[in-house]
Amino acid sequence: MSLKTKFSLLLVAIFVLFMGAFWGFTQYWVAGINNDWATRLTEKQVLFDKHRTLHPLLREIALAKQMAAEPALLDMALHESDPAVRQRGIALMESYRNKFSSHLYSAVFSQTQHYYLNDEKNAFAGAQLRYTLSPKNPVDAWFYATLASGNDYALNVSMENHGATKVAQVWINVLLKHEGKAVGIVGTGLALDEFLLDSVAMEQAGVTNLFVDSNLAIQLNRDSKMIDLASIAKPDAQRLKVNALFTQETDMASLRAATQRLIKGESSNEMLRVSYRGKPHLLGVAYIPALDWFDLTLIDAQQGVLFAKLWWVAGLFGVLFLSVLALVAWMLHRWLLNPMAILKNAMHELELNHYTSLPPLVGSAEIKSLSQQFNVMAEHIRTHQQELENKVQERTSLLTATLESLPDLWFELSLDGGYRQMPATYKHGMAVDPTLMVGKSVAEVLPAGAAKIVLSGLAEAHLTGRSTGKQFYLDLSDGRFWFELSIARKQVLAGQEPRFIALSRDITERKNAEEKIRQLAFYDALTGVPNRRLLDERLGYAMLEGKRSGHYGALMFLDLDKFKPLNDLHGHEMGDLMLIEVARRLQSCVREVDTVARFGGDEFVVVLGALSGDMAQSETDAGSIAEKIRSALAEPYFLQAQQGAEVVHHSAGSIGVTLFQGQIIKADDLLKRADMAMYQAKQAGRNRVCFQR
Question: pLDDT by residue (tens digit) across 327-349?
Answer: 887 777 767 767 676 666 666 65
pLDDT surpassing 90 at residue 565: no
Q: How far apart are CA 192 and CA 182, in angstroms?
A: 28
Structural domains of the chain, ranges and CATH numbers in brackets: 69-194 (3.30.450.20), 325-383 (no CATH), 406-513 (3.30.450.20), 523-691 (3.30.70.270)
- Three-state DSSP at 692 gives coil
Centre a 10 Å sphere on the Cβ of residue 558 and count the other Cβ atoms it contains: 27
Q: How far apart are CA 141 and CA 132, in angstroms?
A: 13
What sign has the CA pseudo-torsion 331, 333, 336, 342? negative
pLDDT score, position 228? 73
The candidate with the shortest Cα–Cα distance to 619, out of 546, 690, 671, is 690
pLDDT surpassing 60 at residue 26: yes
When pLDDT is cut at 50, 70 and 90, the band that residue 605 belongs to is very high
pLDDT score, position 164? 45
Lowest-pLDDT range, 61-65, 281-285, 541-545, 642-646?
642-646
Tell me, rounded to whole angstroms, the distance of Cα 7 from its chain centroid.
Answer: 51
**49-56: average pLDDT:** 65
Better-scored residue on pLDDT, 602 or 469? 602
Lowest-pLDDT range, 93-107, 303-317, 645-659?
303-317
pLDDT score, position 306? 47
**97-103: average pLDDT:** 88
Question: pLDDT by residue (tens digit) across 167-219?
Answer: 567 888 899 998 889 999 999 987 766 665 555 545 566 677 788 887 888 77
H runs (alpha helix) in 408-488:
434-437, 442-445, 448-464
pLDDT score, position 286? 85
pLDDT score, position 508? 76
**244-272: average pLDDT:** 85
- Exposure class string for 127-152: b at 16+ Cβ within 10 A, else e: ebbeeebeeeeeebbbbebbbeeeee
Better-scored residue on pLDDT, 223 or 99? 99
pLDDT score, position 165? 45
Instruction: Decide: pTM greater than 0.75.
Output: no
Question: pLDDT by residue (tens digit) across 579-602?
Answer: 999 999 999 999 988 999 998 888
H runs (alpha helix) in 119-233:
141-149, 192-198
- CA-to-CA dists, residue 586 to 348, 579, 605, 668, 672, angstroms: 93, 11, 10, 22, 21
**508-523: average pLDDT:** 73
pLDDT surpassing 60 at residue 227: yes
pLDDT score, position 683? 92
H runs (alpha helix) in 118-188:
141-149
pLDDT surpassing 80 at residue 457: yes
When pLDDT is cut at 50, 70 and 90, the band that residue 12 belongs to is confident
When pLDDT is cut at 50, 70 and 90, the band that residue 160 belongs to is low
- Three-state DSSP at 345 gives helix
Q: How far apart are CA 47 and CA 204, in angstroms?
A: 15
Better-scored residue on pLDDT, 162 or 45? 45
**103-107: average pLDDT:** 91
**266-293: average pLDDT:** 82
